[in-house]
Amino acid sequence: MSHVLVKDMLRISRDYIENGRYMDFVFTSLGCRFIALNDGVDTQQKSNEMLVIMKNVMNDLYARYTSNKIIKAAKQFTFKSGKYVGCYASLGYKKSAAYKYALENDTITSPVVKHIFDMRLQGNDFRKIAVQLNAEGVPAPRIFYYNGRGKRKSSK
């Protein structure tokens, strides 16, 4: 009889369904004995099946929790270090070609942004600014985005 010996059940799989499939079907069909030392699991002893199921579920939840936690921590570290991580640059800026986490002034759209700020400083509300920009024929930000990439926007 062959044996599969692991430190704990996490070494087999992080997914509790997959882990159960291995223990109930794969190992038994191969005539293999599975032993997880730290978890006290032995497929030869069927008395602790409920404990094995619970541990598999807890391991799965723990793996998902730590994965989300690590991703969140990495993103927060990137934010706190002052790197730009957005998909698109705001109007008036463009993503740097040299360094993907930096923004540069966009010489094409920055005058539009300055004009918007000037109108706001004069006391105009957002609606009046929008009407004024439309009257002047200033394209919407999305149009600037598509034009900057040499594409035509298909929908209005």
Among 3.40.50.1390, 3.40.50.300, 3.30.110.70, 3.20.20.70, name the CATH number for the domain at 2-80. Answer: 3.40.50.1390
- Per-residue pLDDT of the chain (156 residues), as tens digits, is 788 888 877 767 767 778 778 777 888 888 888 888 887 788 777 767 777 777 777 777 777 778 788 888 888 898 899 888 888 888 889 888 898 888 999 888 999 999 999 999 999 999 999 999 999 999 888 888 887 777 766 555
Please report the pLDDT score of residue 112 as a whole number: 93
Q: Report pTM.
A: 0.49
Give the type of residue at 125.
D
Q: Nearest 5 degrees, angle CA 90-CA 91-CA 93?
A: 70
Please report the pLDDT score of residue 137 as a whole number: 92
Query: Where are the chain's structural domains?
Result: 2-80, 93-148
Please report the pLDDT score of residue 133 as a whole number: 94
Please report the pLDDT score of residue 126 as a whole number: 94
Please report the pLDDT score of residue 56 as a whole number: 76
Length of the chain: 156
| Distance of alpha carbon 101 from the chain centroid | 16
